[in-house]
Structure 1
Amino acid sequence: MKVSTKWEGNLAFTMSNPDGNQVRMDARNEAGGEGSGVSPMEAVLGGLAGCMGIDMYMILKPFQDKITRLEIETDGGRNDTAPKYFTAIEVTIHLDGDVPASRVWRAVKLSDEKYCSVANSLNADLTYNVILNGEHVPQVAK
């Protein structure tokens, strides 16, 4: 899976996937951005909600025709100093329809523990490559 994120000037960036779908991001809540897109941290919360929503809908397949609303709110508490990573995320699922509570909770648990790639990526190992003026630059020793 690959996306490209392009600088649009000042603190704005546009993320595009290979199909041409785009998400505009800026630092409106971070460092005086312009407010014309979502912040990168809001995108993380939205990605978590979208991932869990897709999982839950698939897990609740026997009840799909009975679901009239599925809305997921995510509220992230962040570290006070840089880096301001999420220290806790509260996920609230609003589901309306004739679905047993036990099945909804089962779907939540399966998404969280087994299927949701976003939830399970929040502590991923990161590697970095730098291409400067078209050339790969090896990491400089500290």
Structure 2
Amino acid sequence: MAIQFFSEEIKFELPQKLKRKNWLKKIAESENFQVGELNYIFCSDEYLYQINVDYLAHHTYTDIITFDNSEQDGKIEGDIFISLDRVRENASNHQQLEETELSRVISHGLFHLMGYKDKTKVQSDLMRSKEELAINLFHNI
């Protein structure tokens, strides 16, 4: 089991890495999942845009792209790319602290790997409630 944090084409060091790892494991355990190999890659808008074009044929900017590498039920494995440019802009647009928005997006990717979707209003509302629970959990660890 390994949760790792990387950056591509930007200089970024995630604060509180150990606390984040413990937090992500607790979220997974609360949903009856085990974390295997999980990589978070923090990058720029342009870097993530190119991934969106190359792998998903989407010509849009986004804050997160999640690739599920899981091969075993109940075990989370994947690569989660996060645009820090989008996180910062979204935090400003929603009048949130950057740390809170970052926690939201980090947990969002994990929830996708656990099977949660956000295409419909019902799915999106459930995802938002899960994110809020995760953010509260982070503050209480």
TM class, shorter-chain normalised?
under 0.3
User: Higher helix share goes to which structure?
Assistant: 2
Question: Structure 2-normalised TM-score?
Answer: 0.27
Q: Which has the higher contact order (CA 8 A, sep 6+)?
A: 2
Mark the structure with the bigger radius of gyration: 1
Question: Structure 1-normalised TM-score?
Answer: 0.27
User: Higher strand share goes to which structure?
Assistant: 1
